Chain A
Amino acid sequence: MSCHAVRPLLPARAEELTPSEALMRAEHVAGCARCATEAAAYSRLGQALAVMAHLEAEPAEGTLERILVAIGRRRTRVTDPRVLAAAGSAGALVATVVVARALRQRRHSRHALATPWSRRLRVPGLPLPTAALARAK
């Protein structure tokens, strides 16, 4: 395997290579001082780049305050899906109860209309009106 063929593999991180590419690179680097130096330089570069993630820049003065004001305006719209789900369930329950009561009331009023007034007004222990008695006979 020539240096030329291995050169494109030198900057790659281990997980970016196929197993055969990784083996090829390792075997070549083990026997080639120049490519070993190159590989070491890329490795050092990779480590330093990863360290960059921990370095922080200071934003311009007022940036934090601007963000806090902006999110304060928007904050009322924070919506946790768990809260939304709970609110939805509660709403559905209320709606079910309201619909059920309305249906019951409607059924009750239909039943009331279908029943003669005399029976609706019947009180246990009181005689039925004469007209109702005549119809019954």
Chain B
Amino acid sequence: MEVDRELVEAAQAGDRWALEELVRRTHRSVYTCALRLVGNPDDAADVTQDVYLRVVRKLGGFRHEASFATWLNRVTTNVAMSTLKRRTRRFTVEGAAVPADTRDPAPEPAERAEAVALARRLERLVAELPEGQRQVLVLRDVYGQSTEEVANAMGLTPGAVKVRLFRARERLKAELEAAEGGQVVALSGRRRATGRRS
């Protein structure tokens, strides 16, 4: 999500076109983040709308100390977490939380092609993590928030965030390896063959 500073400043100054353009450029990214956090498309759409209502209220206070994308991501996180506190999940259909039509904002360089392909496979695996683990992992590892930021957003201690993060990464790696053709089995075999180093 690339947003020009000039566009943000124009929106801050009350330019209606700039504000709408800001929404057009960023709404997919906000929706995707919301979907990863709340876990279903209906709630994600509601969160996306609430995010922009909050943006309209708070945009004047945005001081460009962080990038607009980072600020918007924090707003999305806060709105999504507030929504989750208010609501119970209405439904969970297997695969429903996965961004079904993921699209790249720009063509990826060749060296990142493998990482992009892997990221697409990871979407489904991430969506199937337990909610608490998924949210911590998405905020920390996908959106790069600090452990403290994640703890604040989720009302957890940094220690609890680290525990969830460890479990989520461990589980995700195991599931990814299993999905990719049994590297876990291969590792186990190697472990038996070489013995454990101590």
Contacts and interface: CB of A to CB of B under 8 A. Distances in A.
B29 A56 contact: yes
Interface string B144-178: 10010000000000000010011001101100110
Given A49-B142, A56-B32, A63-B45, A70 B52 contact: yes
B102 A56 contact: yes
Q: Is the interface of B mostly helix, strand, loop or mixed?
A: helix
Contact of B23 (A38, A71, A79): A71
Nearest to B146: A15
A11 B13 CA distance: 45
B74 interface: no
B198 A55 contact: no
Interface of A: 2-4, 8, 11-12, 16, 31-35, 37-38, 41-42, 44-60, 63-64, 66-68, 70-71, 74-75, 77-84
B198 A59 contact: no
A57 B28 contact: yes
Q: Is the interface of A mostly helix, strand, loop or mixed?
A: helix
Shortest 6 CB-CB distances between A and B: which pairs? A57-B99, A80-B60, A48-B118, A11-B169, A49-B141, A51-B119
B99 A51 contact: no
Contact of A81 (B61, B144, B177, B183): B61
B58 to A, nearest CB: 10
Given A46-B141, A67-B23, A81-B60, A52 B177 contact: no
B197 A59 contact: no
B198 A70 contact: no
B2 to A, nearest CB: 11
A32 B190 CA distance: 12
26 contacts: A3-B196, A3-B197, A3-B198, A4-B198, A8-B166, A16-B147, A41-B183, A45-B172, A48-B115, A48-B118, A49-B126, A51-B115, A53-B143, A59-B44, A63-B45, A63-B48, A63-B49, A66-B45, A67-B48, A70-B53, A71-B52, A71-B56, A75-B16, A78-B59, A80-B60, A82-B60
B173 A68 contact: no
B194 interface: yes
